[in-house]
């Protein structure tokens, strides 16, 4: 095997919000990608609106910089475990990785997750301890925690010999030693060139490329993105594609492109190890091998972790369907979900007995919420059910469920309520560390289903100061049932428009979700009941007029301001018999069965069967 020393393929991995995308911005600026007088937005790699709004990376992205004649392909990966499929396919293109760790927070659950994937892929790692300018920075302790994490994850002797740099990504500086002068990112560039190898390849092998990503261009059609494992490729060359079935299909790429800064540039040929984009290839999926027609041989496919969460996606069947969205047909929804599964290896789509509903499986509720939010912005109307965990059966027929290892960082005063709430959800405390700073770090083993909907409650309980993170630990025997919600629903019993008089009189019953003038229909959830049972109410009732006038008789009602439901809160709130109606303009909650009479019949039948 030989190495292409004119190239480096580097993945930047880290926990959420440890500064990956900000560091990439600084690498761009100091490598000459931008002109000196060019105005550049922050977090230039986060192109999606949702990424910019939420301050997170959702999709892995590629770019390239040059340093001392060497081309460095940089892959900016997500830090959230729900987007683990993005990390796994990104690592298939890399020949080394930069692990970024916050100098105060240290390694967190997603640090463990992305590092485990990197070590399993056998990649060498450069550790960068970032944000050393924080007042609460503790770089030496964090470095010891990183060594412990590497040992815990079974790193090899070579992987444990990692170089360490200290950085302030926002200021664009990196140092080999913490006391070195803070100048620029040259130490990081030099470490990439000297400590991370160029991509290896066999000069005797013909062209082979593993498809790690798909994109789409209105002008060029489908784009296949991947790293050339062996050989060279030329523009307009006759090639073959080997799919999951092992059959080789002939194809011809209409255009060959490579990354140059943030842009793609067209080339006539590409070198072994380079990350290329082939245009005009229609029938291709992530994990396929593109090779020569003369000697078609498949590479090992990209394998990702099994999905742990499933959700039902269906058409909007409410009386308000079609008023706010342009795309309402089940066929269009199915096509969009299938397109998402082609681009995202962690998502799977299955048909159900109901031809207007589809089962979507993925890594977590947050990943699902991002998909739904993206679809509603594209003009879709749909109804979705509560996220449910995917259970397994062992050899003895026992039910197994996914278990999360949960880390909680909160003030000492909130420790009791957090422990109590997680115990109700069948969580077990594993560890408790008190650093003497007034904050405690708790570790729990808790069922994945226990965390669905808990994040909002946790933030309320800790007054917004708590931090919680988790990663999938494995599967254990079913830990038993527990209530997902301790309150019932206030359900409208007739169609119309919300009236202030009616809503004012409903306020003592619970928390309302609708305002005067909002449309309501039979079966729509207009509030959360104080008690654990559902009640049907008339939200459209107007005040009866009389011919008597008296002081104080006609005063205006003053309603408590309504907290508008966010998509994530709605997904957490609904129970098994409820749905979230999602349109480009609104998020409404409803019963799966809209007719109150039919719901009473179903409930009566269920009670009869129990007895």
Alpha helices by DSSP H, 256-386: 330-343, 365-377
Query: How confident is residue 313, by pLDDT bands cut at 50, 70 and 90?
Result: very high
CATH number of the structural domain spanning residue 362? 3.30.70.870
Give the number of domains in the chain.
5
According to the annotation, is 130 in a ligand binding site? yes
Regarding whether 604 and 578 lie in a shared domain, the answer is: yes
pTM: 0.72
Regarding whether 226 and 157 lie in a shared domain, the answer is: no
Task: Give me the phi and psi of 39, to 5 degrees please.
Answer: -85, 125
According to the annotation, is 21 in a ligand binding site? yes
Regarding whether 230 and 125 lie in a shared domain, the answer is: no
Regarding whether 595 and 582 lie in a shared domain, the answer is: yes
pLDDT score of 115 more than 80: yes
CATH number of the structural domain spanning residue 567? 2.40.50.250
Regarding whether 510 and 576 lie in a shared domain, the answer is: yes
According to the annotation, is 20 in a ligand binding site? yes
Regarding whether 79 and 183 lie in a shared domain, the answer is: yes
In the beta sheet, which residues pair with residue 547?
Answer: none
Regarding whether 48 and 150 lie in a shared domain, the answer is: yes
- 195 in a structural domain: yes
Looking at residue 173, its pLDDT comes to 86
Regarding whether 498 and 367 lie in a shared domain, the answer is: no
Looking at residue 46, its pLDDT comes to 41
CATH number of the structural domain spanning residue 410? 3.30.70.240
- 441 in a structural domain: yes
CATH number of the structural domain spanning residue 158? 3.40.50.300
Looking at residue 33, its pLDDT comes to 56
Question: What would the mean pLDDT of 159-183 be, rounded to a whole number?
Answer: 86
Regarding whether 497 and 463 lie in a shared domain, the answer is: no
In the beta sheet, which residues pair with residue 201?
Answer: 2
- 216 in a structural domain: yes
According to the annotation, is 132 in a ligand binding site? yes
According to the annotation, is 465 in a ligand binding site? no
For residue 281, give its domain range: 202-292
376 vs 558: CA distance, rounded Å: 33
Q: If residue 356 lies in a helix (H) or strand (E), which one and from where to where?
A: none
User: Of 438, 457, 477, at which residue does a domain stop?
Assistant: 477
pLDDT score of 520 more than 90: yes
Regarding whether 254 and 226 lie in a shared domain, the answer is: yes
381 vs 376: CA distance, rounded Å: 7
Least confident of 13-17, 294-298, 488-492: 13-17
Regarding whether 91 and 27 lie in a shared domain, the answer is: yes
Each residue of 391-421: pLDDT tens digit?
A: 888 888 888 998 988 888 888 899 999 999 8
Alpha helices by DSSP H, 220-262: none
Closest CA to 22 of 125, 102, 110, 117: 102
According to the annotation, is 505 in a ligand binding site? no
Regarding whether 396 and 378 lie in a shared domain, the answer is: no
Question: What would the mean pLDDT of 39-55 be, rounded to a whole number?
Answer: 45
Query: How confident is residue 64, by pLDDT bands cut at 50, 70 and 90?
Result: confident
User: Of 164, 199, 234, at which residue does a domain stop?
Assistant: 199
According to the annotation, is 17 in a ligand binding site? yes
Closest CA to 572 of 451, 405, 422, 481: 451
């Amino acid at each position: 095997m030989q190495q292409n020393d004119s190239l480096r393929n580097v993945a930047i991995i880290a926990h959420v919000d440890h500064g990956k995308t900000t560091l990439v911005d600084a690498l761009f600026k100091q490598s000459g990608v931008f002109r000196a007088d060019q105005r550049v937005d922050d977090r230039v790699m986060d192109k999606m609106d949702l990424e910019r709004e939420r301050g997170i990376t959702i999709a892995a992205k590629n770019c390239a910089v040059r340093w001392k004649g060497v081309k460095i392909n940089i892959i900016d990966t997500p830090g959230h475990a729900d987007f683990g499929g993005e990390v796994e396919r990104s690592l298939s293109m890399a020949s080394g990785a930069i692990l970024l760790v916050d100098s105060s927070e240290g390694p967190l659950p997603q640090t463990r997750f992305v590092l485990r994937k990197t070590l399993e892929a056998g990649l060498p790692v450069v550790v960068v301890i970032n944000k050393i300018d924080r007042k609460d920075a503790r770089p030496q302790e964090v470095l010891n925690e990183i060594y412990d994490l590497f040992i815990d994850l079974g790193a090899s002797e070579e992987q444990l010999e990692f170089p360490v740099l200290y950085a302030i990504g926002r200021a664009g500086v990196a140092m080999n030693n913490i006391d070195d002068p803070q100048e620029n990112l040259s130490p990081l560039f030099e470490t990439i060139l000297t400590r991370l190898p160029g991509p290896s390849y066999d000069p005797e092998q013909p062209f082979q490329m593993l498809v790690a990503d798909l994109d789409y261009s209105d002008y060029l059609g489908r784009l296949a993105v991947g790293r050339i494992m062996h050989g060279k490729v030329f523009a307009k060359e006759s090639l073959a594609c080997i799919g999951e079935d092992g059959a080789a299909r002939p194809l011809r790429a209409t255009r060959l492109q490579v990354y140059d800064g943030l842009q793609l540039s067209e080339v006539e040929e590409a070198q072994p190890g380079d990350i290329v984009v082939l245009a005009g290839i229609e029938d291709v999926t992530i994990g396929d091998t593109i090779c020569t027609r003369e000697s078609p041989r498949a590479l090992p496919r990209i394998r990702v972790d099994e999905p742990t969460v499933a959700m039902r996606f269906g058409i909007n069947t409410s009386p308000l369907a079609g008023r706010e969205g342009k795309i309402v047909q089940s066929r269009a929804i199915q096509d969009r979900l299938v397109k998402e599964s082609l681009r995202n290896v962690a998502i799977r789509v299955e048909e159900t007995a109901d031809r207007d509903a589809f089962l979507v499986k993925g890594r977590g509720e947050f990943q699902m919420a991002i998909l739904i939010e993206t679809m509603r912005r594209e003009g879709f109307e749909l109804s979705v059910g509560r996220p449910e965990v995917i259970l397994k059966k062992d050899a003895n027929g026992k039910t197994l469920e996914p278990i999360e290892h949960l880390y909680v960082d909160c003030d000492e005063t909130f420790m009791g309520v957090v422990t109590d709430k997680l115990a109700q959800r069948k969580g077990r405390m594993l560890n408790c560390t008190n650093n003497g700073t007034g904050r405690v770090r708790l570790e729990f083993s808790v069922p994945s289903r226990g965390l669905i909907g808990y994040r909002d409650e946790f933030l309320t309980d800790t007054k917004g100061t708590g931090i919680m993170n988790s990663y999938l630990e494995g599967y254990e025997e079913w830990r038993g049932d527990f209530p997902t919600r301790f309150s019932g629903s206030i359900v409208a019993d007739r169609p119309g428009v919300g009236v202030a008089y009616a809503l004012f009189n409903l306020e003592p019953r619970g928390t309302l979700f609708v305002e005067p003038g909002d449309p309501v229909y039979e079966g729509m959830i207009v509030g959360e009941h104080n008690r654990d049972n559902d009640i049907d109410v008339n939200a459209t009732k107007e005040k009866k007029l009389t011919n008597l006038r008296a002081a104080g008789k006609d005063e205006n009602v003053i309603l408590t301001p309504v907290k508008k439901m966010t998509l994530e809160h709605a997904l957490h709130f609904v129970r098994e018999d409820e749905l979230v109606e999602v349109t480009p303009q609104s998020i409404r909650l409803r019963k799966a069965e809209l007719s109150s009479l039919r719901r009473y019949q179903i409930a009566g039948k269920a009670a009869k069967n129990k007895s």
